């Protein structure tokens, strides 16, 4: 065997980098730090993931696209927002050799590109609600250690939605609607997560509040994989987004924005992958089924039957490949396992005689099924496999979250997981926790039914509130 072996998943960082290469997701050799190239296979995965996002957004949103460049004059209007991003902005200062009159920012996010136009689009209550999204690249001059798909200077696939509403309450409802969409998105990717209301010092610059989705990576650190922000009238006031209400008066509009980046793919790879490579859910796998004909006698007949199966599956809308190469079956299995293909069909002359095929699932389960009704067997196994992936991932996440009573315990827990501690909610106690535990306050659990009395881990005050603590990517 000459195949390169992946490092074990317990060496998460090495494993992750090697898998991005061996799985042909991302090439990191582009000569600008923090900017990566999608391999065609990785891009096919990206396309399927974002098609799923579009499928969930399109019934209630309209897709659009705004320019990459933002004039300094617009960018600098919202004070808190600038403070949040000024250290990370790339500036275009020249057109050819001539200095520009007004510098242009490469969008680090698009509020300041979109909202001056919203001012023109929103005139009356009849224009509301307005709900748009775009899937674009954004640029941030990251000074921290960059990591492919996780911390990039060019975020290649930022899905950002922006909505405008008549009232604060309607905007708050939209935040919940966005969270429900994201929950469904991640359910279909079989990725479990925690909802947290970010603490005041970590909310989106210029928002009233921010709710985030965090998943737990194999090494116990958390990865933020989505956020939704209630902007209230903060940006509307700055950009003059007003509408005529039913009484004929001008009012400032209320807004929200919410986003998911290619970190969803980092999570997909990290949560499900194993020592043999990618493990992709059926919903987004670029190849859902691979047929490996076992060729030792009756080669022609075996190939003919295999091709017939392929045609039938393709006709039913399955993304299917057939491996007719001369490699040994073992080498073929290895190659397609690395690519995360959910189901492999093995078929040889003896199977054909008996009218059966072997289905091998990416999770190791193997079964023999009749060729009659092969499609429905595959569909049933695909659904079961997705459930099994979600159950396994949920069990892992649950094992990584623990209630802690003392700072010592929380420190130990956050070395490789998430700690839940009593927190009175004060900024002072929050900062103290971050300093003493050496982990970030992700915030208070959101949409969590579980409530009981605790004591603030810092000041001892009785409270029903609590904080999730973790080391973050």
* Minimal distance, residue 195 CB to Zn ion, in Å: 22
Using CA atoms, how far apart are residues 49 and 281, in angstroms rounded to an integer? 10
Instruction: Compute the least distance from the CB of residue 442 to Zn ion, in Å.
Output: 17
What's the min distance (Å) between Cβ of 382 and Zn ion? 49
CA 54 to CA 34: how far, in whole Å? 27
Our CB check for Zn ion shows the closer of 253 and 424 to be: 424
> CB 443 → Zn ion: shortest distance, Å?
15
Count how many Cα atoms sit within 13 Å of the Cα of residue 346 in the half-sphere of its side chain.
17
Q: Name the CA radius of gyration of the chain, rounded.
A: 25
Closest CA to 186 of 139, 223, 231: 223
Q: How far is the CB of 377 from Zn ion (least distance, A)?
A: 57
Q: Which of 459, 379, 374 minimizes the C-alpha distance to 424?
A: 459
**Gap between the Cα atoms of 240 and 148, Å rounded:** 38
Nearest to 375 by CA among 451, 316, 449, 430: 316
- Residues near Zn ion (CB under 5 A): 424, 429, 456, 458-459
CB nearer to Zn ion: give 49 or 421.
421
Q: Which of 314, 459 has the CB closer to Zn ion?
A: 459
Distant-in-sequence, close-in-space partners of 16: CB < 8 Å, separation ≥ 6:
269, 270
- Closer Cβ to Zn ion, 217 or 458, answer by number: 458
Number of H helices, E strands in the chain: 14, 25
> Least distance (Å) from Zn ion to the CB of residue 222?
23
The DSSP string of 393-412 is: HHHHHHHTEEE-SSHHHHHH
Cβ closer to Zn ion: 356 or 459?
459
Q: Which is nearer to Zn ion, 424 or 470 (CB)?
A: 424
Closest approach of Cβ 425 to Zn ion, in Å?
Answer: 7
Q: Which is nearer to Zn ion, 347 or 456 (CB)?
A: 456
């Amino acid at each position: 065997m000459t195949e390169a072996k992946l490092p074990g998943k317990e060496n998460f960082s090495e494993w992750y980098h090697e898998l991005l290469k061996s799985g042909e997701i991302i090439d990191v050799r582009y000569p600008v730090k923090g900017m990566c190239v999608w391999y065609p296979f990785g891009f096919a995965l990206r396309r399927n993931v974002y098609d799923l996002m579009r499928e969930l957004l399109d019934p209630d949103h309209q897709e659009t696209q705004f320019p990459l460049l933002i004039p300094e004059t617009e960018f600098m209007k919202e004070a808190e927002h600038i403070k949040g991003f000024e250290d990370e902005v790339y500036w275009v200062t020249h057109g050819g050799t001539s200095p520009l009159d007004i510098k242009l920012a490469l969008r680090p996010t698009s509020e300041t590109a979109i909202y001056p136009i919203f001012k023109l689009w929103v005139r009356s209550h009849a224009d509301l609600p307005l709900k748009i999204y775009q899937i674009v690249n954004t640029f941030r001059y990251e000074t921290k250690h960059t990591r492919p798909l996780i911390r990039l200077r060019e975020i290649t696939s930022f899905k950002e939605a922006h909505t405008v509403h008549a009232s604060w309450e309607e905007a708050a409802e939209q935040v919940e609607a966005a969270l429900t969409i994201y929950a469904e998105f991640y359910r279909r990717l079989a990725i479990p997560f925690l909802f947290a209301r970010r603490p005041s010092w970590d909310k989106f610059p210029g928002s009233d509040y921010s709710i985030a989705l965090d998943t737990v990576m194999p090494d116990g650190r958390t990865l933020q994989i989505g956020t939704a922000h209630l902007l209230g009238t903060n940006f509307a006031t700055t950009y003059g987004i007003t509408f005529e209400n039913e009484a004929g008066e001008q009012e400032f509009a209320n807004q929200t924005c919410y986003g998911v980046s290619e970190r969803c793919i980092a999570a997909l790879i990290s949560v499900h992958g194993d020592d043999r490579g990618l493990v992709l859910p059926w919903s987004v796998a670029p190849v859902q089924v691979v047929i490996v004909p076992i060729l030792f006698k009756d080669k022609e007949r075996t190939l003919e039957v295999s091709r017939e199966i392929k045609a039938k599956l393709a006709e039913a809308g399955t993304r299917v490949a057939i491996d007719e190469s001369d490699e040994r079956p073992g080498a073929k299995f290895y190659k397609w396992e690395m690519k995360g293909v959910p189901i492999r069909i093995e078929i040889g002359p003896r199977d054909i005689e008996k009218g059966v095929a072997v289905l091998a699932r990416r999770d190791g389960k193997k079964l023999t099924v009749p060729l009659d009704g092969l499609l429905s067997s595959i569909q049933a196994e695909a659904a079961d496999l997705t459930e099994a992936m979600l159950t396994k991932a949920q069990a892992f996440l649950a094992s990584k979250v623990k209630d802690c009573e003392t700072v010592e315990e929380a420190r130990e827990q956050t070395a490789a997981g998430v700690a839940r501690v009593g927190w009175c909610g004060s900024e002072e106690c929050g900062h103290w926790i971050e300093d003493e535990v050496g982990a970030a306050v992700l915030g208070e659990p959101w949409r969590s039914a579980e409530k009981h009395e605790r004591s603030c881990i810092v000041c001892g005050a009785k409270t029903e509130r609590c904080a999730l603590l973790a080391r973050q990517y």
